[in-house]
Amino acid sequence: DDYITMEIVPGQELSDLLQERQLTYPEIYHILIQLAQVLNFIHSRFMVHRDIKSSNIRITPEGNVKLMDFGLMIPMGQPSNGEITGTAIYMPPEVPLGGIIDGRSDLYSLGVMAYELVTGKPPFTTQKIPELIQHHVKIEPPSLKEQCRDVPDELVRIVHKLLLKRPEDRYKSTGDLINDLLKLSGKE
């Protein structure tokens, strides 16, 4: 029998934190950089998490970011069977389209979450799953600038790139994303 054990992580779910207050841009950068680093590690092991969402992120009392729930993880490069897996609000277009699931799939989900960190809500909010899937596949998300006028242009560019419909148009790797996030945040 296969099983997974997970550590008990003290702290607060990111989804709860988002309901309490608007995050500052330095907080958003910190969260995105740490998550990109975690994904970089997972992808370096040729695995895909497949369930990146704010309720699977825990912020520890020290301010560290922990990714939770590895139950849907699969080896990189597998074709999707078109079934809805993970959480539809964060689901990359290649899942319902039967495309190849790889690191860029996690990056799309991270883009949905980044949008949520900036605006307080994901780009597509309909409760109807078939409609939500069509939005991910065919509809461009509402402009971040329209949702939040003060959002830095470079963050808009990064989130837009993460949310591109075709995987080959997104970041090629989490390393490229980390470099852009570090430049944006002014961190080493």
CB distance 142 to 120 below 8 Å: no
Pairing of strands 78-79, 65-67: unpaired
CA atoms within a 13 Å half-sphere pointing along the CA-CB vector of 153: 0
CB distance 96 to 133 below 8 Å: yes
* CA-wise closest residue to 156 among 148, 35, 19: 148
> Which one from 51, 102, 106, 180 is the annotated catalytic residue?
51
> Reduced to 3 states, what is the DSSP secondary structure of residue 13?
strand
Burial class (CB in 10 A: 0-12, 13-18, 19+), 86: buried
> Reduced to 3 states, what is the DSSP secondary structure of residue 47?
strand
- List strand residue ranges (DSSP E) for the chain, in order: 12-13, 47-48, 57-59, 65-67, 74-75, 78-79, 100-101
- Please indicate whether residue 51 is annotated as part of the active site: yes
Q: Among all residues, which ones are annotated catalytic?
A: 51
